[in-house]
Structure 1
Amino acid sequence: MVTDVSVSQHSDVPIYRQIVMQLTLMIETGQLRDGERLPGSRLLADNLRINRNTVAHAYRELRDQGLVEARGRHGMVVVGGERARSASAVRDRARAILETAVRECAGLGLAPARIRELIADLTAGTADDFPRIAFVECNADRAAYFSEELAAHLGLPVEPLVLGDFEPAGVHPELVLTTFFHLAEVRGLLRGPATDVVAIVVAPHIQTLLRIARVPKNRTVGLWYSTDDQAVSIRDSLTQAGVTNTEVLHGTADADLAGVDLVVVPSETPELKRRLAGRVPVIEFGNVLDAASLRMVDDLVRDLRAARPRTAHR
């Protein structure tokens, strides 16, 4: 599939960007599915007759976009396909809406330059009316998942930020949301005169806890998360709830699964479930945003909007 990638030395688009664009399209259209491996940078560079560093640059760009991640000797693996396809559908819908509006404006006799000015003015005005909100997590999948959940609840954009992947000096949201687990670290990075940092509760579905609690005590429950910190956090939470037959997994090879009767994976990363399908029973550890936390966020956003001057009617 990735062998279909081609580059042009005569294009104005940088070669690494050509690779990024083609692989992104393959991921968005489902030609590359979550869990599929990309060829090594050396192999792809040899096939395209380009410098290996150019391919490495393209892979870093895809990783920064949350579309792939490095998995040791397994190389770069696609992880953001479902999220990319969802974002692509949203862009297509937005484009259709704008296309209809532009055609109507042109029908009124407005010149293209004037239509662009109106769109720019409306966009700037709308952005000024809404507070800038971010959600910070230590994992790209969780950051994106809960940012989308918060955005859907608030009806406002919520920017996902991943600890260690952004420069605090370049981030200026008015409201930063995170979990209690990361509150102290995020406050140390981002809290300032114009920024509030607030922790919200991310709780497991009660059905998830009930399913795990039904597992016999003599069976081993494996916990497989993208980071050990998350797996340990889940293990500690289950231990407090009386579930002690758990084990943090560091991989999904047969050797890692030896003696494990079932595996708990996060619901926001369905590719993990697919990777284990047919090998071991899997329980998705579903999480929900706490209702009281959402009400608090609603109040904070309402206060922020009330405190800022409105500009859309200028």
Structure 2
Amino acid sequence: MVDNLQVSRDSGVPIFRQIVTQLSFMIESGDLEPGQSLPSARLLGDNLHINRNTVARAYAQLGELGLVESHGRSGTRVVGPGPAREASPARDQALDILRQAIRECIALGLTAAEIQPLVAGLAMRAEEDVLKVSFVECNVDRAKYFADELGEHLGLKVRPLVLGTFDAEEEQADLVLTTFFHLAEVRGLFRRPRTEVVAIVVAPHVQTLVQIASVPRDRTVGIWYRTDEQAVSVRDSLTQAGIENIEVLHGTEDEDLENVDLVVIPSETPELRTRLEGRIRVIEFGNVLDAASIRMVTEVVGDMQADKRGDQEATGS
């Protein structure tokens, strides 16, 4: 079945992404079954007349999607679409649509080998037309949490990205969202003129505010973050919420914690919590998306989608 895989250097879509799209379709449709071995990167690269590193990159992406697994010298094997995908109503509906379309193509006299590259090409073109949005954070859980939250509000898929774990040059993002904490760093990573970087505000969770507000006003709430800039931003957001007995900490030694009743730390530093517990009361700073930021991002997405539609109409695609 992999023998039917084809790539085009003239499509404008990166070759590794063409491979990912076609193999994903074969796995999703059941043409490639769980446990089946894929050709080695060298063998498939030779057959397609492309660099084996391109194939390896495609296999790595399929691994991130949970569709294949690498077994070292034993090669790469198909995992399958997985229980969640198998039970997906959207997937079942898509398969029904494709079955009907393929039957009509067969009736027109096309062969399966002729239909496959057409489907893959149209899928890749459609994927390129969809607005691609990512959310960047410094912590896996926070990145996924806020990406999912934003996706629900925006009505589209938002890809979570963790600082230090991705290559910005390879990310096909139209819009990159992040917090003001990381805005400068993220803008430095995404320098492409067609990628817009926008910062959103995350407000303190009500539970965080309740715990902080319980500290007597004659005592001090200490805030420790990796940078003073982040700590000051948290302090300012708490001050706006009416909590004023706050101090930015520049360390977590005993002398730094003198007269401090509670220390607020970022959720991505569990090792610090472990170090401080037993010495002082500690809470992690929980956040929720700011309503005004959601409205702003919704407007930005709407404008960008309108621009994309305009570009497509202008090019006739």
Short-chain TM bin: 0.5 to 0.7
> Which among 289, 309, 312 is matched to residue 310 of structure 1?
312
**Residues 222, 264 of structure 1: 8 Å contact kept:** no
| Residue matched to 1:95 | 91
| Residue matched to 2:262 | 246
| Residue matched to 2:278 | 258
Q: CA deviation at 1:228?
A: 4.6
What whole-Å deviation, never above 9, does each CA across 1:187-210 have from its counterpart, x for those lacking one?
A: 122133222211111112335313
Give the whole-Å Cα distance in 2 for the aligned partners of 1:302 and 1:11: 41
Q: CA deviation at 1:112?
A: 4.5
- Return closer, same or farther for 1:128/1:106 CA change in 2, 3 Å cut-off: closer
| Residue matched to 2:18 | none
- Return closer, same or farther for 1:243/1:99 CA change in 2, 3 Å cut-off: farther
Q: CA deviation at 1:258?
A: 0.8
Give the whole-Å Cα distance in 2 for the aligned partners of 1:174 and 1:254: 39
| Residue matched to 1:170 | 170
What whole-Å deviation, never above 9, does each CA across 1:226-275 have from its counterpart, x for those lacking one?
A: x85699578635764335432247638876421444x4236xxxxxxxxx
- Return closer, same or farther for 1:255/1:195 CA change in 2, 3 Å cut-off: closer
Give the whole-Å Cα distance in 2 for the aligned partners of 1:185 and 1:231: 13
3-state secondary structure, aligned to 1:199: strand
Q: CA deviation at 1:213?
A: 1.0
1:170-209 matches, within 5 Å, as 170-209=170-209
**Taking structure 1 as the reference length, what is the TM-score of the superposition?**
0.53
- Return closer, same or farther for 1:126/1:254 CA change in 2, 3 Å cut-off: closer
Q: CA deviation at 1:108?
A: 5.3
**Residues 223, 264 of structure 1: 8 Å contact kept:** no
- Return closer, same or farther for 1:161/1:88 CA change in 2, 3 Å cut-off: farther
Query: Alignment identity in percent?
Result: 40
- Return closer, same or farther for 1:103/1:256 CA change in 2, 3 Å cut-off: same
Give the whole-Å Cα distance in 2 for the aligned partners of 1:172 and 1:144: 18
Moved over 6 A (4+): 10-14, 217-224, 252-255
Bigger Rg over Cα = 2
Pairwise CA RMSD of aligned residues? 4.6
Give the whole-Å Cα distance in 2 for the aligned partners of 1:290 and 1:140: 20
3-state secondary structure, aligned to 2:271: coil
Give the whole-Å Cα distance in 1 for the aligned partners of 2:262 and 2:211: 14
- Return closer, same or farther for 1:13/1:297 CA change in 2, 3 Å cut-off: same
1:218-237 matches, within 5 Å, as 228=226, 232=231, 236=235
3-state secondary structure, aligned to 1:197: strand
| Residue matched to 1:146 | 146
What whole-Å deviation, never above 9, does each CA across 1:85-111 have from its counterpart, x for those lacking one?
A: xx9635641433333334444665746
Give the whole-Å Cα distance in 2 for the aligned partners of 1:254 and 1:199: 31
What whole-Å deviation, never above 9, does each CA across 1:20-70 have from its counterpart, x for those lacking one?
A: 98xx79xxxxxxxxxxxxxxxxxxxxxxxx9xxx69xxxxxxxxxxxxxxx
Give unmatched runs, 5+ long, in structure 2: 1-34, 42-58, 74-81, 247-260
| Residue matched to 1:293 | 293
**Residues 221, 260 of structure 1: 8 Å contact kept:** no
**Residues 202, 289 of structure 2: 8 Å contact kept:** yes
Give the whole-Å Cα distance in 2 for the aligned partners of 1:310 and 1:172: 17
3-state secondary structure, aligned to 2:182: helix
**Residues 223, 231 of structure 1: 8 Å contact kept:** no
Residue type matched to 1:175 in 2? L
Give the whole-Å Cα distance in 2 for the aligned partners of 1:221 and 1:133: 36
Residue type matched to 2:134 in 1? A
**Residues 204, 237 of structure 2: 8 Å contact kept:** no
| Residue matched to 1:213 | 213
Give unmatched runs, 5+ long, in structure 1: 1-7, 26-49, 56-86, 267-284
- Return closer, same or farther for 1:180/1:96 CA change in 2, 3 Å cut-off: same
Q: CA deviation at 1:183?
A: 1.2
